[in-house]
Amino acid sequence: MKNATLVLLTLAAASAHAADTPKFDPKRLSQDVKVLSSDEFEGRGPNTAGETKTVNYLVEQFKAAGLQPGGDLAGGKRSWTQDVPLGRFEIKGPVKLTLHEGKNSRPLAQGDDMAVRASMSGAKTVDFKNAPLVFVGYGVTAPERKWDDFKGMDLKGKLAVVLINDPDFETGQGDFGGKAMTYYGRWTYKYEEMARRGALGTIIVHETAPASYGWPTVKNSNTNVMYDVVRKEPRKSHAPMEAWIQRDLAANMFKTAGIDFEAAKKQAQARSFKPIELKGVTLSANYAVDAQVIKSKNVVAIREGSKLPKQYVMYSGHWDHLGVGQPDANGDKIYNGAVDNATGIAAMLELARVYAKQPAPQRSVVFLAVTAEEKGLLGSEYYASNPLYPLASTVGVINMDALSPRGPSRNFNISGSARLDLLDQLVAKAKQWDIAYSPDPKPEAGYFFRSDHFPFAKRGVPALSFGSGNDWVEGGVKAGEAAEAEYTEKAYHQPADEFDPKWTFTGMARDLEVLYSLGADLANSKTWPNWSVDSEFRAARDKSAAERK
C-alpha cells in the first residue's frame, strides 16, 4: 500500500509541476507560421529577398519579446545576426568520366552511372587520368572501437571506393550499434575521412537498403548546385572528387579486378579487413567548377543569465526553406515550408516570449535561428565552427524541426537513436505531462545526422532534435501515421507544404511546455549533461571538461 501511495504522491507532484509551467499560445504559433510560410516570404531561400523579409521578421519578434541581440560583435556591441558566408559550387559544362578496365575503356554517364558532385575542394577544374582505385571497406577510423579500415594505406593520388552505412548493418550486430546508424555510417563522414587522408577522391557505392533511399535521390541530391561553409583549408574537408556509383557498376569493376564484390563486402564487416587495390581498373575524369561566395545570416537572441551568464542553454531551428523552384502540377513555384520549418521557428519565437516574461534564469538562454539547413546544415555548421558562445560552456542544444501543427499526441520522438543524459532528462520531463518517448523506428536511416543539432553533437555538445509524436489523442497511431505518410508524399519539399487554417497548434503549445521546462531546469542548475560512455561524441565533450570547472 505504501508503494501505491508513493506513486500517487509522485504523480501528483509531477502534474503540479506541469501545471506550474507557463502556458503557450496556439494562436500566436498559428500567426507566426502563417506569416513565415506566406507567398510574400517566397519560400525563405537563403541569399534572396525572402531571406531579408524572414530575418527582419525574426529580429522584430525577438525585440518585441524583450530579448537582447546575441549575434556578431561590432564595436563591443552584439548585433541580431551572425554573418554566414557560403560557398556555392556548380559544375559548368560536361562531366567526362572514362573507366579503364585492362585494355578496354568506356565512358560513364553523369547521373546514371555515377553522381559526381561539384568539387568543394577549391579546385576550379577536376582533371586526372588513370587514377588507381582502392576499396577501403566502410572507410572507418574509430579508435574507441579499436577499428581501422585503412591499415596504413596511403590514399594520396588514389580514389577510395567505400561502402555506405556501418560494418554491422548487414548482420545487425557488432561494434556499431547493429542496424542503428552511427556517424561512421553517414556519407558525410566518408567524404570527410577520405579528405583527411589526402585521397584524390571518394566514390561511395550506392545500395538502397543501407543508404535508406534509392538512386533517384542520390542523383537529384548530388548533381545540382552544392553549398558549403567557407573554409580556410577546404582540402582538409573535401577531396577533389566526391561521387556515388551504382552498385552493379561497382560490382563489375571488382569482377574485372578479379574480386568478388559480395565477398569483399563480407571481409569489410570484420576488424581484420585490409584495403584492396582494384588492379587493372582506373578512372579518368575532367570537369570544370564555378565557385562563388554568397552571404546569408543566422539570427541570434539571448536572455542573459543572472548568476552564470557565461554558461549557455540553446534552442535552435532553421528559418530557411527551398525558395522558388520548379512548378508543381498546379503551376505553384513557391516552396512555402510551413511545417518545414516555419513550425520550429514559431516555436522558438514563442519560447523566447515566455522566457522574457519569466525571472531571468541563472544561466543564459540563446535562441539560434539558422540558415541553409536545406543546403546541408550549413548555418548550424558555420555557427558550430565559429561559435559566438564557447561550445565548452554550452550546456545543451534543443533543436526544433518540422513540428506538428495539429492536436496533442501521447508520445514524442527525437531524430535518431543517440544515447545522452539530455534525452534521459527529456523523457523524465515528458512523463510529467503523460507523454511517452517512442524510439526512432528507423535508426538505420541516420536521421540523427540530418538536423541542425548534429554539428553541435559531433563537436561534443549534448544536443537533440525534438519530434512531435504519432500517437494522437484524437485518432491514435492510425491517424498520426496516416497524416505523416500523406505529408511525406504530398507536401514534404514540395509547394504544397502550405499553411492550413484548420491547424489547431494545440499539440505544439503543449509540447513547448515540456521543452521550456527542460531548458529552464538546465538554465537554473549547475549540471552538465553528457553522452553515454560508448558514444562517438563522448571523447570530444570530455576533452573540454577542464573549461567547465
- DSSP state letter for 340: I
- Sign (positive or negative) of CA dihedral 237, 242, 245, 251: negative
For 233, other C-beta atoms within 10 Å of its C-beta total 10
- DSSP state letter for 346: H
- Sign (positive or negative) of CA dihedral 147, 151, 156, 162: negative
Per residue of the chain (549 residues), give pLDDT as tens.
444 443 334 344 445 456 688 999 999 999 999 999 999 999 999 999 999 999 999 999 999 999 999 999 989 999 999 999 999 999 999 999 999 998 899 999 999 999 999 999 999 999 999 999 999 999 999 998 999 999 999 999 999 999 999 999 999 888 888 888 888 999 999 999 999 999 999 999 999 989 888 888 788 778 888 889 888 899 999 999 999 999 999 999 999 999 999 999 999 999 999 999 999 999 999 999 999 999 999 999 999 999 999 999 999 999 999 888 778 888 988 989 999 999 999 999 999 999 999 999 999 999 999 999 988 899 999 999 999 999 999 999 999 999 999 999 999 999 887 789 999 999 999 999 999 999 987 777 788 888 999 999 999 999 999 999 999 999 999 999 999 888 877 888 888 899 999 999 999 999 999 999 999 999 999 999 999 998 889 999 999 999 997
CB contact at 8 A, 148 and 133: no
C-alpha cell at 41: 516570404
Residues in the chain: 549
For 74, other C-beta atoms within 10 Å of its C-beta total 8
Q: Which amino acid is at 64?
A: A
Tabulate helix, strand, coil % of the chain (nearest 5): 35, 25, 35
How would you classify the pairing of strands 201-206 and 308-318?
unpaired
CB contact at 8 A, 283 and 367: no
Rounded to whole angstroms, how far apart are CA atoms 322 and 337? 8
- Residue 67 CA, distance from chain mean position: 27
pLDDT value, residue 218: 87
286 φ/ψ angles, rounded to the nearest 5 degrees: -150, 120
Task: Give pTM, 2 decimals.
Answer: 0.82
- Sign (positive or negative) of CA dihedral 53, 54, 56, 57: positive
DSSP string computed for 260-294: -HHHHHHHHTSTT---EEEEEEEEEEEEEEEEEEE
Rounded to whole angstroms, how far apart are CA atoms 85 and 47? 10
DSSP string computed for 355-378: HHHSPPPSEEEEEEEES-STTTSH
Rounded to whole angstroms, how far apart are CA atoms 316 and 78? 19
Containing H/E element for 20?
Answer: helix 2-20
Based on its alpha-carbon atoms, the radius of gyration of the chain, rounded to whole angstroms, reads 24
- DSSP state letter for 79: -
Rounded to whole angstroms, how far apart are CA atoms 166 and 196? 19
Whose cell is 508503494? That residue is 3
CB contact at 8 A, 528 and 548: yes
Q: Is 56 helix (H, G, I), strand (E, B) or coil?
A: helix
471 φ/ψ angles, rounded to the nearest 5 degrees: -100, 85
C-alpha cell at 361: 534564469
CB contact at 8 A, 78 and 71: yes
Containing H/E element for 27?
Answer: helix 26-36
Whose cell is 506538428? That residue is 404
